[in-house]
Chains A and B, each alone.
Chain A
Amino acid sequence: MQLEEQLRKQLETKDILLMTHIVLGYPSLDVNREVIRQMVDNGVDCIEMQIPFSEPMADGPVILKANQDALAEGMKVNDCFTFAQEITQEHDIPFLFMTYYNIIFKYGEEAFFKRAAEIGMKGFIVPDLPPEMGKTFLALADKYNLAPILIFTPTSTDERMQELATHGRGFIYCVARRGVTGKKSEFGDDFEDYLGRCRKATRLPLAVGFGIQSKEDIDVLKGKADMAVIGSRTIKLVESDGADAVGPFIAGLR
């Protein structure tokens, strides 16, 4: 089943979906495995697994440190694939790779897509690859039936959103505010206008991320977005309270 179809099916029974984020190899693949299990058991609908990169330009301090620590522990792209294969076999929900373009470019675009498709991944989020730079990437996504997740931001004009939407598959990732990952977002009137503009620009499901930290944040999104993205929050939670804290936290979000 394709990503969009899978999400739509979930939306038949839930008023908002949850996507979470983990950095592969941080603090270790064993902890990643346990965190994912807790997330899935508590109803997470989609998980983005970040392949660490040495220059994570769009990430804030929490995920930046996670990238660096994972690499310092010797995490390789090949390890990420092996682990992802195990995870997709184990769990039924859709999994995406999030990473920076150099990781894919260096591996070889086609080889990367081929292997990702073979192990059952559903799509990619690549924050430093605008569609103008990703012509071959988008063509390969079509060929291997993997969803390229495109990103809307509050600075995107209506025209730009429509342009992005023509290339997107699966869902659109709406960044809640300017800035990098991990800081709290405010959801005022401007935010409502922004989400309204996002909704007008595409028929794809809308995921909202950046600074979503609590049940209150998610309640605000209900009826306005299709999926809430929890990123840095669970990484911090694992750092402070360990993997076992993730399940109860996720269960309390909806």
Chain B
Amino acid sequence: MDANGFYGNWGGAYIPEVLHQTFQELKLEYARCRKDPAFWEEYLTLMSTYSCRPTPLTHAENLTRHFGGAQIYIKREDLNHTGAHKANNVMGQGLLVKRMGKKRVIAETGAGQHGMATATMAAKFGLECTIYMGEEDVLRQRPNVFWMEKMGATVVPVKDGSRTLKDAINEAFRDWVTNVDDTHYVFGTACGPAPFPEMVSWFQSIIGIEAAEQIVKYHGKMPRKIYACVGGGSNAMGIFKRFMDEDNVELVGIEAGGHGADSGAHAIRLSSSDASPGVAQGYKTMFLQDEDGQMKHTHSVAAGLDYVGVSPILTSLWEEKKVRFDSATDDEVMQALDITMKMEGIIPALESSHAFAGAFREVGNLSPDDAIIINQSGRGDKDIFTIAHAFEDPSWKEFIIERGKEYSQK
């Protein structure tokens, strides 16, 4: 990152002037934390005592046998507290908030996992908490909304624009410019104005640091390929960072193919030609936008990938060809999820299932002497309504109808 927050042509900090001073303070405190080994130690202790770090690396023997190629390993971020990699970033920023002495945190959330993690952190650290969530995502991720509220957070459904993640980000910024003195915005992904992309990637880098040690222990050498789903890009940055300079480790980001690359209903920023350079939400990256620069509607079965932009660090790595990007459609994702549940007894989140789908396409072409790692960024049980709906599960439908009757009678 250069002094103005750019990675090559991408990134920067396109912020309203009212936030200038707060960003100066944030950059200063972040730089202090980076230099202070005690900060990272405190972070590791917190993550190993409050959460389940290090998370396991699971050898998926049945899937490996089924596809008949490289050994498949799964990095189990689903076993992190609150059920996803999101907690890594949030707890780190929580420690930063304590240092800065702010009393209130706000966050945007798409899938609800980042909101969940932020509400959890706020409860633990005794902070006030408001979560902005697109109205459409509130409907898609009802269980997470329930838990956030139970932990004392206020969840605000955002009714503007496409009513998804980008609109929640705009609304969180509007809150921040109003309450800048006592409030920190816990940005959820490796996007937004600098220093967020780098700071979030730093906290998430714990995933790759653990995975590198684990794969060498179990497999005896580095993996050939690493797969991660890419919405904003924080879980991908988290697992990729440690392997960036390893020879012969290919890093693969899987974007949300939605109804297909030609359908217009997807969230493919880097692995199709639909996106173009733009500046929004505080940073410069490849955006899905029209010829006037108006953001387009995106679609994915996974709320957490349904986003118009992507981490400027990933865009820079894409341009330098250091990370390869591909996409998986909603249908492929449901198939990958189905086979993973049946063969391994593991339920990946719909977001993470994109990484599985991308890996399953290619793993058969590799030798059994090789290994791949799939980053399971989160657990799928939060998606029970969406998954049950997508599978058109008859007994689930019956249950919902019965429960609905029960409630409407009271």
Say whether A130 contacts B278, CB under 8 Å.
no
Say whether B21 contacts A68, CB under 8 Å.
no
Q: Tell whether A1 is near chain B: CB-to-CB under 8 Å.
A: no
Contacts of A155 in B (CB 8 A): 18-22, 180-181
Say whether B18 contacts A178, CB under 8 Å.
yes
Q: Tell whether B4 is near chain A: CB-to-CB under 8 Å.
A: yes
Say whether B293 contacts A53, CB under 8 Å.
yes
Say whether B173 contacts A57, CB under 8 Å.
yes
Q: Tell whether B14 is near chain A: CB-to-CB under 8 Å.
A: yes
What is the minimal beta-carbon distance from A22 to any residue of chain B, in angstroms?
A: 19
A interface vs B, CB < 8 Å? 53-58, 60, 64-65, 68, 71, 76-77, 100-103, 105-107, 127-130, 132-133, 150-157, 160, 164, 175, 178-180
What is the minimal beta-carbon distance from B284 to any residue of chain A, in angstroms?
A: 8
Say whether B161 contacts A58, CB under 8 Å.
no
Q: A57-B173, A58-B177, A178-B178 are in contact. List 17 more A-B contacts (CB 8 A).
A: A54-B294, A55-B166, A56-B170, A58-B174, A60-B174, A71-B294, A101-B14, A107-B292, A128-B15, A128-B282, A130-B14, A133-B14, A151-B17, A155-B21, A156-B20, A178-B180, A180-B177
B interface vs A, CB < 8 Å? 4, 12-22, 160-161, 166, 170, 173-174, 177-181, 276-282, 287, 289, 291-295
Given contacts A68-B161, A106-B292, A157-B21, contact A133 B178 (CB under 8 A): no
Q: How long is the Cα–Cα vector from A241 to B287 in the complex, in angstroms?
A: 39
Q: How long is the Cα–Cα vector from A133 to B283 in the complex, in angstroms?
A: 10
Q: How long is the Cα–Cα vector from A151 to B13 in the complex, in angstroms?
A: 16
Contacts of B181 in A (CB 8 A): 155, 178
CB-contact partner of B17 in A55, A105, A153, under 8 A:
A153
Contact sample, A vs B, 25 pairs, CB 8 Å cutoff: A55-B295, A56-B170, A57-B173, A57-B174, A57-B282, A64-B160, A65-B160, A68-B161, A101-B279, A102-B278, A106-B278, A106-B292, A107-B293, A128-B279, A130-B13, A130-B20, A132-B4, A133-B12, A151-B16, A154-B18, A155-B22, A156-B20, A160-B20, A178-B179, A178-B180
Say whether A68 contacts B160, CB under 8 Å.
yes
Say whether B21 contacts A133, CB under 8 Å.
no
Contacts of B179 in A (CB 8 A): 178
Say whether B17 contacts A156, CB under 8 Å.
yes
What is the minimal beta-carbon distance from B286 to any residue of chain A, in angstroms?
A: 12
What is the minimal beta-carbon distance from B294 to any residue of chain A, in angstroms?
A: 4
Q: How long is the Cα–Cα vector from A105 to B280 in the complex, in angstroms?
A: 10
CB-contact partner of A77 in B16, B170, B277, B292, under 8 A:
B292
Q: How long is the Cα–Cα vector from A58 to B280 in the complex, in angstroms?
A: 12
Given contacts A130-B13, A178-B18, contact A105 B278 (CB under 8 A): yes
Q: How long is the Cα–Cα vector from A101 to B14 in the complex, in angstroms?
A: 9
Closest 4 CB pairs of A and B: A106-B293, A179-B178, A153-B18, A54-B294
What is the minimal beta-carbon distance from A4 to any residue of chain B, in angstroms?
A: 20
Given contacts A130-B20, A153-B17, A156-B17, contact A102 B178 (CB under 8 A): no
Contacts of A65 in B (CB 8 A): 160
CB-contact partner of B21 in A56, A60, A160, under 8 A:
A160
What is the minimal beta-carbon distance from A223 to any residue of chain B, in angstroms?
A: 25
Contacts of B20 in A (CB 8 A): 130, 153, 155-156, 160
What is the minimal beta-carbon distance from A140 to any residue of chain B, in angstroms?
A: 16
Looking across the interface, which residue of chain A has its beta carbon closest to that of B278? A102
Looking across the interface, which residue of chain B has its beta carbon closest to that of A127? B16
Contacts of A180 in B (CB 8 A): 174, 177-178
CB-contact partner of A106 in B22, B173, B291, under 8 A:
B291
Looking across the interface, which residue of chain B has its beta carbon closest to that of A129? B14
Given contacts A57-B173, A127-B16, A178-B178, contact A156 B21 (CB under 8 A): yes
Say whether B177 contacts A178, CB under 8 Å.
yes
Say whether A55 contacts B161, CB under 8 Å.
yes
Q: How long is the Cα–Cα vector from A65 to B280 in the complex, in angstroms?
A: 18
Looking across the interface, which residue of chain A has its beta carbon closest to that of B294? A54
Q: How long is the Cα–Cα vector from A160 to B180 in the complex, in angstroms?
A: 17
Looking across the interface, which residue of chain A has its beta carbon closest to that of B21? A155
Given contacts A55-B281, A102-B280, A132-B4, contact A175 B292 (CB under 8 A): no
What is the minimal beta-carbon distance from A209 to any residue of chain B, in angstroms?
A: 13
Most buried by A among B161, B276, B282, B287: B161
Say whether A53 contacts B4, CB under 8 Å.
no
